[in-house]
Amino acid sequence: MTAILILNGPNLNLLGTRQPEVYGTTTLNDIEKMCAQKAALLNIRVDMRQSNHEGVLIDWIHAARGSFDGIIINAGAYTHTSIALMDAISSVAIPTLELHLSNIHEREDFRRISYIGKVAFDLIMGHGAAGYPMALERMVEHLKTT
C-alpha cells in the first residue's frame, strides 16, 4: 500500500486560531481528519505529523526512507529559511510535494523564497485546508507516473 508522510512545520499546531484571516479557522486536527478520509478513498496510508523544531522535521525526513513512498511538507516559515530541510529532502530522494495554506507568492517578499521548492516536484498553495487532500491526490498521481 502506498504510504505518504505529511509533515507540518512551526506554528501549524495553532491553526484555527492563528491569523484566521490568512490561514482560516480549520484546525490541524480537522485537516488530519480530512486527510484520513481522502486516504481511505485513495486506498493509501497517511501519517501526519507536526513539529515546531527543525531538527525533528529533519529526523522524520531521514527516517522516511524505506517506510514512505512520498512526502508532503508544509514547512511553514522554515520554507523560506531552511537549507537544512532542503538538504534532508534532497538526501533521502523521496518524491516531495511542497504545500502551503496561503499563496506565498502574494504575501511578503521574504515568503516568496522557497528552499523546499528547489527540491520538491510540485507546489500546491493558496487553497487553505482543501490543499491537503489536493496534495494527496497529486502525490498519488505523481507516484503512478514515476
**How confident is the model at residue 125, as a pLDDT?**
96
Residues in CB range of 97: below 8 A, 6 or more apart: 70, 71, 72, 73, 120, 121, 122, 123, 124, 135, 138, 139, 142
CB-CB contact of 114 with 80 (8 Å) = yes
User: In this predicted structure, what is the pLDDT of residue 6?
Assistant: 98
pLDDT at 7: 98
Mutual orientation of helices 54-63 and 83-92 as an angle, nearest 10°?
A: 10
State the cell numbers at 146: 514515476
Give me the pLDDT at residue 25, please.
Answer: 86
pLDDT along the chain (146 residues), means of 10: 97 89 86 98 98 98 98 96 97 97 82 91 96 98 95
pTM of the model: 0.94
Domains of the chain: 3-145 (3.40.50.9100)
Residue positions annotated with a catalytic role: 23, 100
pLDDT number for residue 94: 98
Q: Which of 50, 55, 53 lies closest to 5 in space, CA to CA?
A: 50
Q: What is the pLDDT of residue 23?
A: 75
Output the pLDDT for position 12: 96
Model pLDDT, residue 19:
81
